[in-house]
Structures are given as C-alpha cells and as structure tokens.
C-alpha cells in the first residue's frame, strides 16, 4: 500500500515513577534519518529505538522525542539512620568549634531536612522503565504507520485522478491526429501549388519529411500511456515505491515535452501544457510517498 512520509503520533503512559510520553514526527526525506531527544535516565534506549524504526519505516526524517516526568512523592519517609548520623556530626562539629574558641551558629531543623538522603525516595528501576518505554514506542509506531497509510491512500487517490486526466488528454490528442494530418497536408499542397513553376524535388522531399515528423506523435502517445499504466501498477505495489514513482514522473515529463515540441496544431500544444501541469502536480505529491 502507498504510504506517506508525513505523519505524527503521540502516546502516553503512567509508571510507578512518573509519566512517559513518546512524540514521533516524520517528514519526507531521501533516506531514513532519525533524530532523538531522550531523557538522561533513558539515554541507553536509543539503539533499540533505531532498530525498531528501521523495521517499521523505510524512508523519512523522523524526530523521536521521549519525555519523562518523574512523580514527586507525597508519602515522605525519613531515613532515621541518616538523621542520627547528621546530628552526631553536627554535635561533634559544635564541640570542635567551641574547643577552638569559635561557634558554628544556631543549628536549624530546616537545614537538616534539606540534606540529601534525609528522605527516602523510591528507586527508579531503569530496566523496567526502559522496557515500558519500548512498549510505548511500539504503540506510537502503530499509530504513526496507520497515519502514514491513511495519508498515503489519499495521495494515491489524487495521483490516480491525475492519471485519469492525463489518459483522457492523450486519447483526445490521438483522435485529433487524422484531422491534424489532413490540415497539414492541405497547407502543404497549397504551398506546392504556389511554387509549381519552379518545383524543386529536393524541396518537395524536405517538405514531405517535415510533414511526417510534425504529424507523427503516435510513438509519444504510446509511451505516455505505457508510463501511465506503469504508475498505476506501482501504486498497487507494497513497500517503498516513492523513488520508482519519481523516476516515472521524469519519464512522463519527457514525453510531454516531446509531444509539445512536435505539435503542429495549437490544440496539441495546449494538451502538452495541460499534461505538464498534471505531471508537476503529481511530482509534488510523489515527494511525500515512502
């Protein structure tokens, strides 16, 4: 199925230590190029994230942002051993200061409570947290892939509409070819009548060759229809099709240019212009396809 390279996904979950949030943004790019913004506590998850991205995505610039909001505990528990040890050291320091004839100043309880380690904290289980982050990433990638496929389906619909319009133009030009040849022949015969008295066989051969070249657009129309059929087939393929489609856009544009250069009728010229407009519209959409 056709997949877009432009999408966004966000997943959030709560853990015993806080909230984890994954945000994934993708835009078009020639290759798969991930960038990461990870919290220090989960920096080690990056290699596994790269592996998962490579399995799920083919192309695109991917911004991966993992947020970790640690929960502030409201159930405070004092570490009595740390407090006793701090008090012992404080008393010892006061005794030393008094023996030296000095003073440390008043001991404040708030200073004691602010000391690191006085309150017990729930230790973060890094391994469990990392596994939770990876599971959440898989869910975010599911959402991202679904979005890319939905947008890809819309792009494919747009491309098929443009292809239908191109096929109609090509068929219209093909029906005009007999009339264009007849008109060109009549103009040529009129010109030959004017120079009948001094008719040059070489000049006649040159005019006939020009006539054949100017009116023979069957080959361009055939190749145009062949490329249109191939684009339709590629749109039904699985996997990465963006590069193949981009190449086919170049081929379509080449045939439209050739058709325009060989046009001997303003209607064919206008048809070539319309084809180029449609091809350019398709090329812009193809840039977003994986």
In sequence order, what DSSP letters do the residues of 68-117 get, joined into one string?
Answer: EEEPPPSS--B-HHHHHHHHHHHHHHHHHHHHTT-------HHHHHTSTT
Strand partners, 7: 26
Distances (CA, A) of 202 to 30, 41, 199: 54, 86, 9
Give the span between the Cα atoms of 43 and 37, in whole angstroms.
9
Residue 68 has which token pair?
């970790």
Q: Quick one: pLDDT at residue 12?
A: 96
Q: Quick one: pLDDT at residue 183?
A: 75
Q: Quick one: pLDDT at residue 90?
A: 75
Q: Quick one: pLDDT at residue 105?
A: 65
**Burial of 18 per CB tally in 10 Å (0-12, 13-18, 19+):** middle
Integer-rounded Cα Rg, in Å, for the chain is 37
Q: Quick one: pLDDT at residue 239?
A: 84
Whether this prediction's pTM lies above 0.95 is answered by: no
Domains of the chain: 7-73+130-149 (3.30.230), 80-113 (no CATH), 154-286 (1.20.140)
- Asked if 272 and 256 count as a contact pair (C-beta separation under 8 A), the reply is yes
Mean pLDDT (10-residue bins), the chain, 290 residues: 93 90 95 94 93 94 93 62 75 73 67 64 76 96 96 96 97 86 72 62 64 73 95 92 96 93 84 96 95
């Amino acid at each position: 199925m056709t997949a877009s390279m432009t999408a966004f996904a966000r997943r959030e979950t709560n853990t015993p230590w806080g909230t984890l949030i994954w945000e994934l943004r993708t835009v078009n790019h020639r290759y798969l190029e991930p960038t990461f913004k990870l919290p220090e506590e989960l920096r080690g998850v990056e290699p596994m994230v790269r592996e998962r991205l490579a399995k799920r995505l083919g192309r695109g610039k991917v911004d991966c942002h993992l947020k970790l909001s640690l929960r502030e505990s409201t159930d405070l528990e004092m570490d009595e051993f740390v407090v006793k040890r701090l008090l012992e050291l404080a008393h010892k320091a006061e005794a030393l200061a008094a023996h030296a004839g000095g003073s440390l100043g008043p001991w404040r309880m708030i200073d004691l409570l602010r000391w690191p380690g006085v309150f017990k904290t729930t230790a973060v289980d890094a391994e469990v947290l990392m596994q939770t982050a990876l599971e959440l990433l898989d869910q975010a990638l599911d959402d991202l892939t679904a979005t890319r496929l939905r947008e890809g389906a819309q792009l494919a619909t747009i491309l098929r509409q443009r292809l239908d319009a191109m096929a109609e133009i090509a068929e219209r030009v093909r029906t005009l070819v007999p009339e264009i040849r007849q008109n060109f022949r009549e103009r040529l015969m009129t010109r030959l009548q004017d120079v009948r008295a001094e008719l040059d066989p070489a000049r006649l051969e040159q005019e006939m060759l020009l006539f054949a070249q100017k009116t023979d657009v069957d080959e361009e129309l055939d190749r145009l229809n062949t490329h249109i059929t191939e684009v339709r087939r590629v749109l039904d393929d699985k996997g990465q099709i963006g590069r193949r489609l981009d190449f086919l856009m170049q081929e379509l544009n080449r045939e439209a240019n050739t058709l325009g250069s060989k046009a001997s009728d303003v209607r064919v010229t206008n048809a070539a212009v319309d084809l180029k407009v449609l091809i350019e519209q398709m090329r812009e959409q193809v840039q977003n396809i994986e």
